[in-house]
Chains A and B, each alone.
Chain A
């Protein structure tokens, strides 16, 4: 796996992560049938924090972030997002989902709607934003991800990188407090990875709370406050990126890093 070169590393010194808690996960467990996919996860994410989650496939990293907005249901422990605890109460779930943006590996844009409609749908129907306002908003975010000229096209007419940037804009249109990225660049051609990462870096610079599941170690080094390494459904090691990459503690982490950075 080649390391993507990031040409605009963030100045981390001026960015103070607050003491306010954005997400709190305590003793969380999840099973898929008999398979214990997440084991005793404890994780506190502070507002403005940028966390990169990495680990071998099947280690539960996607499942972990999908539990945060209840795309997967956890069976034990508690998760609170922005002070609201995730229970089976549908009202709570919808409230949390409208505060948490998510970007998927396969974009999951709505193919029957134009790019603009993709971006305005949730603000209009969930936030009850007037259509005009929602469209102006959407155009602002599309400009931000540098594809305002594609607004009237359909997702099927865009390249993968463009689609993923639309997906980011779509999530941003809901003005989320937290953004979750589930391997946002894994389905992209190498040439398109950078355009998506650049967008994510801009977002990080603005102080968005982000949790990214990714294999882009260059991105982790440039942007993250904290890198979490997962294996077999557990958090094996977490540290700030410099220490994580230069001085990994666990043998499992060392092996993983040597495999993805070793060539």
Chain B
């Protein structure tokens, strides 16, 4: 037969891949010295690193941890390492680290913010790691109240009265929903909750002062505690608010869409500093005279609103990335809007948006340092105060370096968690 065709009698068996090339030398050769230009670049990079380390290292090596002022630091360095030697003066951190962490919180009560900080991780764990029992999430619900009570002190009945508002709303909703429509029940429940908070919660809490802790005013808050209070609260509230705004922006209802777009565009178009200044100076002018609206609360509200506008846009991106078929499949199964959103749309949209969401969280957390401008003593505000002290006048690197380290640890932690979450939620590959 003269044809060009051919055919196979037996199919080939699958074989193991060729043994991977391993060994450190092999790795070095492949990654660092694979060719002359790459070898040259490797050597240049090494030289640059060595040069940097050689110049920075003495500053750390000559550091002084025990001194009363910058002058004393410099004298010690001169004595030990000779004229012209440079060294870090970490004595300032050693002297002021408690202030950096707790601000002007009463020294004998440091255990309260510390305990709140530890409990925060207990509350976060069941949310961050789905493997933990779901029942632990009730602690996450209780945590804001506990943290408020620990940080600001006063009777435990105050946060309890606030929680009672939610319980009342739930009971009212259940009672009304049985007799009327869902919408009416929702409106009545929210109205009951607000009435309770405005007119009854205060007197009730004052009438039943239980488990009273020594009160600590907002003016004594500062340092990293303040950053965490603002940052964590802002993060916790900006995500749900952002989700609602993103859904609202895509809504079919004209007024809902208009309001959400208006809010998002306005808040995004204004610098955070302006919002903080409004919170600091202007809000009290508009409020009825005599109302004392806590400055930290005002700042938290502004930071939350600001972050939620960004969050809404990040989540809208995730929603837009979902194929239409997902909405259609949910509809075709008879799921109503809220169920489809909760079970099908949001889990996927949020997963897509994780990098953007964490980006916004990190931005929000770092933006809390802007409160220094309106006179709150967060770590940056404290730095300015410390540098104004005659003992430490002229110190820069050590203070800002320490603040940077604190923020870096938190932000790096968030970033690492988001990467873990992305890996865990990857369900696509075979």
Q: Which A residues are within 8 Å of any B CB, using their own CB?
A: 69-71, 90, 94-95, 97-98, 100-102, 104, 106-112, 121-122, 125-126, 154-157, 170-171, 174
Task: Establish whether residues B351 and A112, one from each chain, have CB atoms under 8 Å apart when the complex forms.
Answer: yes
A93 and B26 alpha carbons, distance in the complex (Å): 65
User: Which residue from A70, A104, A126 sits with its C-beta under 8 Å from B329?
Assistant: A104
A96 to B: closest C-beta gap in Å: 8
Which chain A residue shows the least CB distance to B334?
A: A98
Asked if B347 lies at the interface with its beta carbon under 8 angstroms from chain A, I say yes
Chain B residues contacting A111 (CB-CB under 8 Å) are 348, 427-428
Task: Establish whether residues B328 and A126, one from each chain, have CB atoms under 8 Å apart when the complex forms.
Answer: no
Which chain B residue shows the least CB distance to A117?
A: B343
Interface of chain B residues 28 through 51 with chain A (CB within 8 A): none
Asked if B326 lies at the interface with its beta carbon under 8 angstroms from chain A, I say yes
Task: Establish whether residues B336 and A108, one from each chain, have CB atoms under 8 Å apart when the complex forms.
Answer: no
A229 and B3 alpha carbons, distance in the complex (Å): 46
A228 and B412 alpha carbons, distance in the complex (Å): 62
B101 to A: closest C-beta gap in Å: 40
Task: Establish whether residues A157 and B430, one from each chain, have CB atoms under 8 Å apart when the complex forms.
Answer: yes
A121 and B332 alpha carbons, distance in the complex (Å): 13
User: Which residue from A71, A94, A107 sits with its C-beta under 8 Å from B334?
Assistant: A94
Interface of chain B residues 308 through 362 with chain A (CB within 8 A): 323, 325-326, 328-336, 339, 343-344, 347-348, 351
Task: Establish whether residues A71 and B331, one from each chain, have CB atoms under 8 Å apart when the complex forms.
Answer: yes
A155 and B425 alpha carbons, distance in the complex (Å): 13
Task: Establish whether residues B428 and A154, one from each chain, have CB atoms under 8 Å apart when the complex forms.
Answer: yes
> Besides the contacts A94-B336, A106-B323, A112-B425, what 14 more A-B pairs have beta carbons closer than 8 Å?
A95-B334, A97-B334, A104-B325, A106-B325, A110-B330, A112-B348, A125-B343, A126-B339, A156-B427, A156-B429, A156-B430, A157-B430, A171-B332, A174-B334
Interface of chain B residues 344 through 387 with chain A (CB within 8 A): 344, 347-348, 351
A90 and B335 alpha carbons, distance in the complex (Å): 11
A162 to B: closest C-beta gap in Å: 12
The size of the chain B interface, using a CB distance under 8 A, is: 23
Interface of chain B residues 206 through 255 with chain A (CB within 8 A): none
Which chain A residue shows the least CB distance to B350?
A: A112
A154 to B: closest C-beta gap in Å: 4
Task: Establish whether residues B325 and A108, one from each chain, have CB atoms under 8 Å apart when the complex forms.
Answer: yes
Q: Taking A111-B348, A157-B429 as contacts, is the C-beta distance between A121 and B343 under 8 angstroms?
A: yes
Chain B residues contacting A97 (CB-CB under 8 Å) are 331-334
Task: Establish whether residues A121 and B325, one from each chain, have CB atoms under 8 Å apart when the complex forms.
Answer: no
Which chain A residue shows the least CB distance to B340?
A: A125
Which 7 pairs from chain A and chain B are nearest by CB?
A98-B334, A108-B329, A108-B325, A156-B428, A122-B333, A154-B427, A97-B334
B319 to A: closest C-beta gap in Å: 14
Q: Taking A98-B334, A126-B335, A174-B334 as contacts, is the C-beta distance between A109 and B329 under 8 angstroms?
A: yes
Which chain A residue shows the least CB distance to B339?
A: A125
Main secondary structure of the interface of B (DSSP, over half): helix
Which chain B residue shows the least CB distance to A97?
A: B334
B193 to A: closest C-beta gap in Å: 27
- CB < 8 Å A-B pair total: 75
Subset of 26 A-B contacts with CB under 8 Å: A69-B331, A69-B332, A90-B336, A94-B336, A95-B334, A97-B332, A100-B332, A107-B325, A110-B330, A110-B344, A111-B348, A111-B428, A112-B427, A121-B335, A122-B334, A122-B335, A126-B333, A126-B334, A126-B335, A154-B428, A156-B428, A156-B430, A157-B429, A171-B332, A171-B333, A174-B334
A137 to B: closest C-beta gap in Å: 14
Chain B residues contacting A69 (CB-CB under 8 Å) are 331-332
Q: Taking A112-B348, A156-B428, A157-B430 as contacts, is the C-beta distance between A125 and B335 under 8 angstroms?
A: yes
A48 and B43 alpha carbons, distance in the complex (Å): 78
A174 and B334 alpha carbons, distance in the complex (Å): 9
Which chain B residue shows the least CB distance to A94?
A: B334
0/1 string, B396-430, CB within 8 A of A gives 1: 00000000000000000000000000000101111
A122 and B348 alpha carbons, distance in the complex (Å): 17
Which chain A residue shows the least CB distance to B330?
A: A110
Chain B residues contacting A98 (CB-CB under 8 Å) are 333-334
Q: Taking A154-B427, A157-B430 as contacts, is the C-beta distance between A110 and B336 under 8 angstroms?
A: no
Chain A residues contacting B332 (CB-CB under 8 Å) are 69, 71, 97, 100-102, 104, 171
B297 to A: closest C-beta gap in Å: 37
Task: Establish whether residues A110 and B329, one from each chain, have CB atoms under 8 Å apart when the complex forms.
Answer: yes
Chain B residues contacting A71 (CB-CB under 8 Å) are 328, 331-332
Which chain A residue shows the least CB distance to B348?
A: A112
A72 to B: closest C-beta gap in Å: 10
Chain B residues contacting A155 (CB-CB under 8 Å) are 427
0/1 string, B183-223, CB within 8 A of A gives 1: 00000000000000000000000000000000000000000
A73 to B: closest C-beta gap in Å: 12
A154 and B333 alpha carbons, distance in the complex (Å): 19
